[in-house]
Structure 1
Amino acid sequence: MTSKKPSTYWGEAIEAGDARRKQEQLDVARNVILAGIEMAFLVSGSGLAALHETETAMGAFLAAHNAPLAAEIAAIKTEGTA
């Protein structure tokens, strides 16, 4: 049995604003990551090296800010050929 607050205009407006801000933050984060990959590619000249550098940077960021997620990602092995 879950109790849910009745929906109100202001509650819905706040939730819509929160969802919009979260989506904007995700869009900015995606663009920053893509810019980082592009910069690493320009410096290294290799797409795989760029992805590796980006993966290393994200690993360090996650380790500093979200240890459980970092451990989960560390368990993922990436493989590929170019």
Structure 2
Amino acid sequence: MTGKPSTYWTAETEKANGELREKQLELARNVIVAGIEMAFQVTGSGLAALQETEIAMGAFLEAHNAPMAAEIAAIKTEGSA
């Protein structure tokens, strides 16, 4: 919670927001799985499909979240998690 007094409507709004977020995440997962599936069909290789997905996610993060992309690049470079 955010420190505001909880009311019925506050709780209901937060519940609805949580449910919407879960639906959005499920849709995003399905899109990612469809992308991996398509890459598999094009490359004929599960490993190549995962590599293509990693490249695509890297490009997405670089475009939309530069600090996270830099952190991930550092992890890959240093070989530590």
Q: TM-score range by the shorter chain?
A: 0.7 to 0.9
Alignment correspondent of 1:54: 53
- How many pairs were matched up? 75
Alignment correspondent of 2:63: 64
Q: How many Å separate the matches in 2 of 1:75 and 1:25?
A: 29
Q: How many Å separate the matches in 1 of 2:31 and 2:68?
A: 20
Structural mapping, 1:69-80, within 5 Å: 69-77=68-76
Between stretches 58-67 and 3-12, larger displacement belongs to: 3-12
Structural mapping, 1:1-82, within 5 Å: 4-77=3-76
Spell out, residue by residue over 1:40-69, the C-alpha distance to the aligned partner (whole angstroms, 9 max, x if none).
001101111000000000100110000011
Dislocated runs of 4+, deviation >6 Å? none
Give the counterpart letter for 2:29 in structure 1: R
Spell out, residue by residue over 1:16-54, the C-alpha distance to the aligned partner (whole angstroms, 9 max, x if none).
011111111110110000000000001101111000000
Q: Report the structure, 1 or 2, having the larger helix content.
A: 2
